[in-house]
Every structure is written in C-alpha cells, then in structure tokens.
Amino acid sequence: MTEAGPWHLREPSIEQEHRFQRSIVLHSLTDAWMRELNGRSDRPFQIERMTRVTLNPNLWLFEKSRLDDLRMDLGNLVGSQSIDEFLDELETTIQVIQISTLETAMQGPAHSQELKSVLQKASWNHGKVRAELMWKGGGMEEATTAYHAFLEGCPFPPRTFIAERSSKQEFTFLWTQPPGRIRMLQDSPCVALMESLFEEWIRGYFYTLSRTLRLETRMLELASGRAIRFTLLSSS
C-alpha cells in the first residue's frame, strides 16, 4: 500500500523507519541537555512548555508516547498526514526545540563557559552511549569502517555527509548541512554553540568506535556554503 491509500493502512518504508529513529535519537539529545540544565535526572524535558513550539495532534501524541515510554509506531502516529510530511514536521520541530533550549539557557544567569562545557560533556556522553548501544565494544581500527558505522547510527541525515579522501593514516569527510546551513537556525545567536555540541556528539561516538583513531574538525567556506571537515587520523 502506498501513501496514497488510507492512512491507517500505510506501511512505512525501511528508510522512513530509519529516519524516524534518527529523529528520536536527536530529540533524546535535547533531553540530555535538559537533565544537565535542570540538574535533575528524574525530570524529562516537556516540549509543550516551549513557547515557540505549537504541536499538532500527531506530534503531541508522539511526545506523550515518548515521555510515557510507550512503543511508538510510525504508521499510527502520522494521522491524516503523509509519512514524509510527518517526518518533515517532526525534524523541524526538534530543531526549533533544540535551538530554543540553547537560547533560553544562554540568556540565564549561568551564561558562561562553564555552562557550555557542561552541555558539551552531555553531548559527548550521549554520542558515546549511542555508539555503545549500536556497536558494543567498538574496536574498529579502519577509518572507513568506523565512518560507515557512524553513518549507520548518527542522528543526522547520512546524505549530508560526503567521504572526501582516504589513505592508510587519514580519512576525511565533509558535513555539508551543519546547523549554520539550516535556514531556520542560521540567524540564532546559539547556532555556533549548537554546532560545537553536535561536534562533541560525533567525537563521543567515534571514541566508542575506536581508540586508535583521533578526530579533528575544521570549518570550511565552500562555494556552496559552509561545511565542516572531519579528519580521522590513525595512530596505529
């Protein structure tokens, strides 16, 4: 049954399911930030409290199911929307929530490098745990293997990463759509902070994958816009 059929008979494709799971992982990173900001691990983030976010019934059901730790069936969450429309709106909502969370945090009295460090640590740990869940002990010595494992588990669209060059000691890839390239985020005063937090997430993920690979990053200005170059350096 294609998406043109009745909504309750639609079956998500494998790619749509993967996209849905990536969104859940990215949203759980927001939870990790909020636990650090609130200082209470037993109080999950309630996105309906965000004044800049209005949830439609489908997204409200998604968030309620998530916070109540209920099984989330993508096909049953989309309602009268198409699956891709639901996923588009879900991704947009999560991005707005994240940048709003950071803006609110940085406007408060704890606006300091210490606060940024706390958020970076939370992001690094979140990436590390994600890789542990996906790949157990890691132990990947080949950079290309680690890169493909990263694409499999990262919360960002894999199509936005491009492998650039590879040698025995060095592997580089580009992130072509970091937050600074997303229209709804690029004017925020916290977009650079968001990019740094996502970089820390990626560092934590690769830390689990391999202890013999070192990750370096560099911001680039390309003809098509800004990008981030990641370089995996082998120490073996």
What is the structure's pLDDT at 174? 97
- Greater confidence, 198 or 236? 198
2 lies in a domain?
no
180 lies in a domain?
yes
Could you tell me if 182 and 133 lie in one domain?
A: yes
- Greater confidence, 62 or 41? 62
Could you tell me if 13 and 101 lie in one domain?
A: yes
Could you tell me if 124 and 26 lie in one domain?
A: no
Q: Which of 76, 111, 146 is the last residue of a domain?
A: 111
Could you tell me if 65 and 133 lie in one domain?
A: no
In the chain, the number of structural domains is 2
Question: What is the rounded end-to-end Cα distance, in angstroms, of the chain?
Answer: 51
pLDDT tens-digit map of 14-50: 999 999 999 999 999 998 998 887 774 444 444 444 4
Could you tell me if 122 and 219 lie in one domain?
A: yes
38 lies in a domain?
yes
What is the structure's pLDDT at 213? 94
Provide the pLDDT confidence category of residue 68 given band limits of 50, 70 and 90. Answer: low
Could you tell me if 11 and 84 lie in one domain?
A: yes
Could you tell me if 198 and 156 lie in one domain?
A: yes
1 lies in a domain?
no
- Greater confidence, 217 or 90? 217
Please state, rounded to an integer, the average pLDDT across all residues of the chain.
84
What is the structure's pLDDT at 53? 55
123 lies in a domain?
yes
- Greater confidence, 224 or 52? 224
* CATH code, domain carrying 138: 3.30.1380.20
Residue 66 has pLDDT above 50, yes or no: yes
Q: Global pTM?
A: 0.86
- Greater confidence, 152 or 42? 152
224 lies in a domain?
yes
- Greater confidence, 173 or 44? 173
Of the candidate ranges 67-71, 93-97, 106-110, 147-151, the one whose mean pLDDT is the lowest: 67-71
pLDDT tens-digit map of 185-200: 989 999 999 999 999 9
> Within its chain, how far is the Cα of 207 from the centroid?
17
**Domain residues for 170?**
115-234
Could you tell me if 27 and 127 lie in one domain?
A: no
Could you tell me if 136 and 105 lie in one domain?
A: no
